[in-house]
Amino acid sequence: MIGLSFIIYHLSFSVACYNQGPITPDAWDLTKQQLDSISFYTTHHYTQNYNFVVTGDSLVVVAQQPEAMAVPEVVSIEIEAIGQEHQKDSITLRKSERIVVADIMTVPSDSIDSVWVKVARDQLTFGWIHEKELLAKVSPDDPISQFIDLFSDTHLLIFLAFCVIVLAAYGVRRLMRLGAKIVHFNDIPSFYPTALCLLVATSAVIYSSIQVFGPESWRHFYYHPSLNPFALPLHLGLFVSSVWAIIIVAIATVDDVTRHLPMGEAILYLGGLAAVCAVDYVVFSVTTLYYIGYPLLVAYYYFCFRFFPRFFNR
- The better pLDDT of the pair 252, 33 is held by 252
Dihedral sign, Cα of residue 124, residue 130, residue 131, residue 133: negative
Average pLDDT over residues 157-167: 65
DSSP summary character for residue 109: T
Which tens digit of pLDDT belongs to each residue from 90-108? 889 999 999 999 999 988 8
pLDDT band at 181 (very low <50, low <70, confident <90, very high): confident
3-state secondary structure of 129: strand
pLDDT at 256 over 90: yes
Which strands make up the sheet holding 138-140, listed edge to edge? 90-94, 58-62, 125-130, 115-122, 98-106, 51-54, 138-140
CA distances 56 to 79, 120, 134, 157, 297, Å, are 20, 16, 10, 20, 36
- Note the pLDDT of residue 64: 84
- Note the pLDDT of residue 90: 84
Average pLDDT over residues 68-94: 59
Q: With contact defined as beta carbons under 8 Å apart, do 5 and 11 qualify?
A: no
- Note the pLDDT of residue 231: 92
- Note the pLDDT of residue 218: 92
Could you give the CA distance from residue 172 to residue 178 in angstroms, rounded to a whole number? 10
Average pLDDT over residues 119-141: 92
Q: With contact defined as beta carbons under 8 Å apart, do 182 and 272 qualify?
A: yes
Average pLDDT over residues 69-88: 50
3-state secondary structure of 225: coil
- The better pLDDT of the pair 60, 73 is held by 60
For residue 219, the Cα-to-chain-centroid distance in whole angstroms is: 7
pLDDT at 13 over 50: no
Which tens digit of pLDDT belongs to each residue from 219-255? 999 999 999 999 999 999 999 999 999 999 999 999 9
From the number of C-beta atoms within 10 Å of its C-beta (0-12, 13-18, 19+), residue 199 rates as: buried
pLDDT at 189 over 70: yes
pLDDT at 187 over 70: yes
Could you give the CA distance from residue 136 to residue 58 in angstroms, rounded to a whole number? 11
pLDDT band at 76 (very low <50, low <70, confident <90, very high): very low
pLDDT at 15 over 50: no
Could you give the CA distance from residue 168 to residue 160 in angstroms, rounded to a whole number? 12
pLDDT-above-90 percentage for the chain: 43
- The better pLDDT of the pair 144, 165 is held by 144
Residues in the chain, overall count: 314
The type of residue at 4 is L
Task: Please name the residues in contact with 223: beta carbons below 8 A apart, sequence gap of 6 or more.
Answer: 45, 46, 50, 140, 145
Residue 88: count other Cβ atoms within 10 Å of its Cβ.
6
